[in-house]
Chains A and B, each alone.
Chain A
């Protein structure tokens, strides 16, 4: 009787804990083991297909999956029809409300991609307990990786979420990463909020743009946040700043990088309007 009782209790408890319906708070940071450190997981998958230093790197660039779950499914179907894509990069605002389940809903869809996907943190991902949740699900807010001959520097530029205060973005870290060019021919910087936006800490715009200006290997600076495509040299210093579409726009970019600082930008339309 006693052993049946304890066996039943153990089963019931395991069932409940394993069941994803059991939730202590929408702000909880707990993620299943397979859905933690997704940035590292993606980088391991990417490095399993290494590229030569002179090969062209070709990746999909899009922003802001936030609460566009239907569109994200259409996006994945479209990207999976493309050929010769190395990886997908989502430029922040993975979630809308910074809740754990939102990250899981997005990952559930993006993990259907045939190539690894990488992210950088967006302002919506920092709302509430979002920062801790993003760190559990994806990993560090500032990180770099090399692929082919390109060094990608991904960093948190959501200054407003920290009430500004000249701490975010971490400009000294950026400078250090821009200077360390071992093993790469050129550099790409990716962030969620572009320095032209009011949500970027105004006190850090001069030092941030100066750091980029001082890097002759920089191809361009990529961002999301504004939900539309823009390209230009807003600081008139030779540095190109690009922004990309949100998932709601049914468009994404394919970026090819080769040579010294050559690049090509293709726009793909998908979903009902395609």
Chain B
């Protein structure tokens, strides 16, 4: 996993080095507005819709997504409910344009997949002795990093409209456990790719 460590450390160092240089240009409201999101893949269903609320001067985006997993993809159709939070450490404006680029947004998520075949804990399944399976097959947690491109609109009375296009490279708890216990699993083996758009008007 040396490859992964180097990548993560590199991204973090890049973020810290740039942060003081590219302080946000506009004074941002400390909270709000609400935004809507449309997300593809990344382990949260074929497609997921949802929304959230911006916090910490536009740097933190907690959101809720409801994903759809069609029968064609998973044998049986299911919903994937996801709680997610993205942190945008810096988002410099491209010159005097209306575009902002954030190279490393990062975040985490927790998802729940519906369906009788998934158990919350092995105790709730009712057929195993305690500790038989230590993980939940219905709940996954994960983390991601990825770039964002944001179009900033004209400041309104209360909020500045923003539409963001983003991609996320991430992994989940069980993939990470697999990689940490096996040298022969490569970083690309455990990565997942997701992408989406979110916006407020």
Contacts and interface: CB of A to CB of B under 8 A. Distances in A.
A221 interface: no
A124 to B, nearest CB: 8
Contact of A101 (B46, B189, B193): B189
Contacts of B113: 25, 27
B174 A99 contact: yes
Interface string B183-197: 111001111110000
What's the interface size class on A, roughly?
Answer: 35 or more
A210 B40 CA distance: 53
A170 interface: no
Interface string A101-138: 11001000100000000000000000111011100100
What is the predominant secondary structure among interface residues of chain B facing chain A?
loop
Interface string B147-178: 00000000000000000000001001011011
Contact of B192 (A23, A70, A136): A23
A136 B184 CA distance: 25
Contacts of A131: 117
B110 to A, nearest CB: 14
Interface stretch (B8-16, B50-58, B73-81, B97-105): B73-81
Given A22-B41, A67-B178, A132 B74 contact: yes
A12 B74 CA distance: 24
B74 A129 contact: yes
Contacts of A96: 178
B182 interface: yes
Nearest to B192: A23
Contacts of B199: none
B181 interface: yes
A19 interface: yes
Mostly, the A contact residues are: loop
B128 A160 contact: yes
Contacts of B191: 21
B45 interface: yes
B178 A70 contact: no
Contacts of A23: 41-43, 192-193
Contacts of B128: 160
Contacts of B172: 26
Interface in A134-182: 136, 160-161, 163-164
Nearest to B71: A29
Contacts of B188: 21
Given A23-B192, A26-B43, A164-B127, A132 B76 contact: yes
B193 A19 contact: yes
B69 A24 contact: yes
B201 interface: no
B178 A25 contact: no
Instruction: Pick the most buried of A22, A131, A133: most chain B CB atoms within 10 A of its CB.
Output: A22
Contact of A160 (B42, B117, B127): B127
Contact of B137 (A30, A128, A160): A128
B118 A22 contact: no
Interface in A53-110: 67-70, 73, 96-99, 101-102, 105, 109
B198 interface: no
A230 B190 CA distance: 36
Interface in B123-151: 126-128, 133, 135, 137-138, 140
Nearest to B177: A67
A28 interface: yes
Contact of B73 (A29, A67, A105, A164): A29
Interface in B20-79: 41-46, 69, 73-76, 78
Contacts of A21: 169, 188, 191-193
B45 A127 contact: no
A23 B73 CA distance: 10
Interface string B76-92: 10101000000000000
Task: List the 3 closest pairs (A to B, CB-CB), nearest first.
Answer: A132-B75, A128-B137, A21-B193
19 contacts: A21-B169, A21-B188, A21-B193, A23-B43, A23-B193, A24-B73, A26-B43, A26-B174, A27-B118, A28-B73, A29-B73, A69-B185, A96-B178, A102-B178, A109-B184, A129-B76, A131-B117, A163-B127, A164-B127
